[in-house]
Amino acid sequence: MIPNEAQAFPAPAKLNLDLRITGKRADGYHNLESIFCLIDLCDTVYLKPRSDDLIILHTPTGGIPPEQDLAYRAASLLQKHTNSKSGVEIWLDKKIPTGAGLGGGSSDAATVLTVLNHWWECGLSRQQLINLSATLGADIPFFLFGKNAFAKGIGEQLSPIDIPKQWYVVIKPKAHVSTPKIFSHGNLTRNSKPSIMPTFQSLQPFRNDMQAVVFQEYPEVWKAYCELSEYGSTLMTGSGACIFLSTDSRQEANNIYQQVSQSYEAYCVEGLDIHPLFQMI
C-alpha cells in the first residue's frame, strides 16, 4: 500500500527509432548511434522523504533484491556522491514492460535522480547528473537529458534532434531478450558507418543493427515483427523485445492497435517532445 503522503512522479518510456553499432571499444562496450524518442507510456515513481538516511525500495522489479534495482541504486549513488544525510522511500507502479527495450528501469532511475537532486538540495547540474548516471546504465543519461536526442558513445553523448509529431503502435511478444547475449553474439553487426550530420531525415531509412540477431535467437520476436509489418514499416526498439511502427495520426495508430491488441500485449502511444520533469533540474 502506497501511503497518501508519498508523491507521484512520471517516468516515461523511450523508443530507439534508429540504432547502429559503429564499433567495439577496448573496455568491451560498444559504440552506438541512436535516435532516442520519449513516449507517453509511463511508470509512476512514488517517493516519500525520510528524516534519516535510509533508502527503502518497497517494490523491487521482477523479484530481484531491492539493492540491485536501478531505482534504489540511483538513490544510493546520489546519496554517496553528494554525502547527503537524507533518505527516501520508493514505490514503483510499473506500466512499462521489462526486458522490452523501452528503458523502463532506466527511466525510473532517472526520475529518482531528478527528484532527489531537488529534494536533497544536492545542486547537481543536468550534465553532472548525466555523467553520474552513466556509471549505472547506458539509457539513464537520455532520460536526464530530457529531450529527444541523437546519442553516441555508449549513449551518454547526447544532442537534441527534431522528430515530427508521431503516434506509435508498440507490441510486446512473449520473450525476454538478454542484452548481454545479443551484444556478445558473433553475428552482430558492429561496423556501421558513423553519421556525419545526423538528422531525422538524413538517417532514413531507419534500422536497428541488433534486430537480425534477436530475430535469429528469439523466433517470437521475429513472428511479432512479421505480423506488425503487415500494417507498415516496422522496427525493433533497443535490444528488444518490443516491436513498433510509427504513424502520422492518432486515428491510424489506434486502428492498428485495435487489430494487434487482440493477439499481443500492445500500446498506442504518442511521441513526446520533452520529459515531464525537465524543468525540475
Active site residue 52: no
98 is in an annotated binding site: yes
Catalytic residue among 18, 43, 139, 209: 139
Strands (E), 139-192: 149-152, 157-160, 167-172
61 is in an annotated binding site: no
10 is in an annotated binding site: no
101 is in an annotated binding site: yes
123 is in an annotated binding site: no
Q: Are 70 and 110 in contact (CB under 8 A)?
A: no
Catalytic residue among 14, 147, 152, 172: 14
Q: Are 132 and 124 in contact (CB under 8 A)?
A: yes
Q: Are 96 and 90 in contact (CB under 8 A)?
A: no
- φ and ψ of 150, to 5 deg: -95, 125
Cα dist from 118 to 49, 81, 143, 145, whole Å: 12, 15, 16, 16
The angle, 0 to 180 degrees and rounded to 10, between the axes of the packed helices 104-119 and 70-82 is 30
97 is in an annotated binding site: yes
102 is in an annotated binding site: yes
Secondary structure letter of residue 53 according to DSSP: S
C-alpha distance across the termini of the chain, in Å: 29
105 is in an annotated binding site: yes
Pairing of strands 265-272, 234-236: unpaired
Q: Are 71 and 109 in contact (CB under 8 A)?
A: yes
Integer Cα distance of 109 and 187 in angstroms: 32
Query: CA nearest 108: which of 58, 69, 80?
Result: 69
Active site residue 139: yes
240 is in an annotated binding site: no
134 is in an annotated binding site: no
Omega of the bond leading into 66 within 30 degrees of 0 (cis): no
103 is in an annotated binding site: yes
Active site residues: 14, 139
Binding site, annotated residues for ATP:
97-107
Known binding positions:
97-107
